Structure 1
Amino acid sequence: MIKVLVVDDSALIREVLSKTLAADGDIKVVGTAHDPLDARDKIKALNPDVVTLDIEMPNMNGLAFLQKIMRLRPMPVVMVSTLTTKGANETMLALELGAVDFVAKPSSDLSGGIERFGIMLREKVRFAAASDVQARVHRAPAPNVPIKTAAAAAGSLIAIGASTGGVEAIRQVLSQFPADCPPIVIAQHMPKGFTGRFASRLNDLVDVTVLEAEDRMPLAVGHAYIAPGDFHLRVEKSSGQLKCRVTQDEQMSGHRPSVDVLFESVAKVIGPKAVGAILTGMGRDGANGMKMMRDAGAFTIGQAKGSALIYGMPKVAFEMGAVVEEASIEKIAPRLVQALMRIKAAA
C-alpha cells in the first residue's frame, strides 16, 4: 500500500485527488493539507511515501516548500500543475528542484478526461514510490571536467531517450556538450504544452541551442531538438540533409512521443555514425529501438542503477543487450563524445 499526502489549497481538488488516488486499492491517502505549513506537520505525523503538491498556495509557494522538503526530508513528490504558460515554467523549476514528476490538473469544472487524469495520476504516484530520491539527493557532485570539443564526422548524430526523472538527467547530459557537437535528438515523455517550455528552459542553461522540434526542420551542429508533446520525432534524410520528421501517428510502447520510434529511425538513417543514451524512466520504451541502433553499429549507453532516479528503461535495455555499457549520469556525455571521436578517426 502506497501512502500519499495530498497538498492543495482547494477543498474540491483535495477531495477529487483523494477519491481518484484510492480507486484501484493499492494507494491510500493518509491525509490532506491545505497549505505547506499544514503539510509540514502532517508529513512528520503521517510519514507518507509520496506527496502530491500544488504550486500556488497560501502561506508558502509550493516551489519554496519543495525546496525545504528536498533539503530537510527528501522524499518523492509529484506536482499537480495547471496547463498554462506560467504553470509550465513553474513545473520545469519544480523538476529541477527534485520533484519526481508532474501531472496536469483537471479543469475547474472537472470535465474533459477526469478518468484519464486519474489513471495518469495513479501511475505517476506508483512510479514516484519506486524512485530513488534519497540516492539522487545525497549523491556527491561529480567533478566538473569540461569537454573542450565534440566535433564529429559529418552525418554523426546523438540520440537521447528518457521518461520519469529525465528532465534533470537530460539537463545534466546536455550541460556537458560544447557548442560544436553534432545534432542531438531527444524523446522525453512529456505532455503537450510542456515540451516547448522544457526546450526553452534547457536553452537558457546549456551551451547548445535547444529547440522544440518542428516537422522538416534541418538538423544543425550544436543544436538539440526535443520531440513535441503528443507527437513522435523521427530522423530522416532528404536531399542529402538530415531533418526532423514530426508526426502524430499511433502510440508506440504506450507513448507519443516514443523513444523507440526515435531510436528506430536513427538506426535506419544514421546507422554506425550515431551514438545514443537511454536514461531514467519506468517501463521499456526505447529498449527495442536502442537494440536496433546497436545492431546497426551505433555506440549505445544506459544510465546505471544507483544513478537513475528510476532504473526501469535502462534496465530493460541492458538486459536485452541493447547497450554497449552503463554509466552514471555525469559520465554519459564524455563516453558519447569518446565514441564520436572514434567514429571520426575511423572515417
Structure 2
Amino acid sequence: MTDPTAAALTGVVPVLPTPFTEDEEVDRRSFAALADHVMGLGVPAVMFPGFASEYYKLDDAERLLLSRDLVTAARAHPGVTVIASVTAHATSVAVRQARAYLDLGAGALNVLPPHFPAPSADHVREHLHTLLAAVAPAPVLLQYAPEDAATRLTPAVIGELAAEHPNLVAVKVEARPPGQFIADLRAAEPAVACLAGSGGLFLLEALRAGACGVQPGSSFVELYLAVWRAWSGGDERAAARRFAGLLPHLVGWATTQEPMVAVEKVIAWRRGLIATPVCRRPHRALSPVAAASVERFLAEFADELSLPHPVRSAR
C-alpha cells in the first residue's frame, strides 16, 4: 500500500468544474484559466471529471478534450498531479476509459464504482478488481459515494481490495457522516488512506478520524487550504475556527450534487474565474434562499476570495 501521506493525496485536492458558454458549449478558455488559478494556489493535485464537473452531461470526446487541456496546463505547475476520473459503468468501457486517460498523461485515476442499474455487490467487486489489475501500477483513488451513487461497499471489502491491489492508494469517503468509515479504513491491514468528500461538509470529523485531506470543488479552494494549513500545522483550534465560518454555508449547499454545482459555478463566476455560471440542462437552478446565501458568503469572505480580472468566454 502506498504511504497514506503521499504528497499527491495529502491536503486539498480540488475537483474542477466544466465551464460552459451561454449556449452550453464547453468553454475551454475558462477551463484553462480556472485550472491555472487552482493549481497556482499550491494544491498537490486536481481531479476531473467528477460529479462537480457535471461528468454525466459530457460526451466522451469532451471528457478527453478537457482532460488533455488539464494535463497540458499542469505542465506549468510542477508537482501537481492530474487525477482523471473513470465513471463508466461497464467494466470493459471503464478499462478503456482509464487507459485513455493514462495515455493522455494523467498521473492517477479516480474510480467511481458502477451503480446503474443496481449491480450486485459481487459484480461491483469484480468490476473494481478487474479495473485495478488492468491499470496497475497506476495509482487509483476509489470514490465511495453511497448517497450520490447508490453502491454500498464495506470497509472490509475495500480493505481486501487494497490488500490485493497495492495501486489502490486511497478512498474518497462520502458516507454521511464519514468518521467511523474512515476510522475503520485506517484500522485495516494495510491501512487505507482517506480523503474527505461531500464538499468538505464533515471535514473536521474526517480529519479527526484520520483523513489525510479533502476533495472539494474549485471555487473557494483558499478557504479549505486555510483549514488544512492550520490542521497540518498542529493547530486544531485554529482549524476549527476557520472551518466554523465555512460550515454554515456548506450545510445549506452540500445536500445533493446539482445545487452544490450551481453554487460553485456562481461563486467562480462572481470571482471572475469562469465566464458564465451556466450548467447544462436539465439542471436545478439556485433557489432564492441559496442565491441570498451566496451573496452573504461572498461578502463574508471578500478579502480572501477577491480576483480582479474576469475571463472572456471562448469555446
Q: TM-score range by the shorter chain?
A: 0.3 to 0.5
Provide the TM-score with structure 2 as the length reference: 0.33
Per residue, is there more helix in 1 or in 2? 2
Provide the TM-score with structure 1 as the length reference: 0.31
Which structure would you say has the larger Rg? Answer: 1
Per residue, is there more strand in 1 or in 2? 1
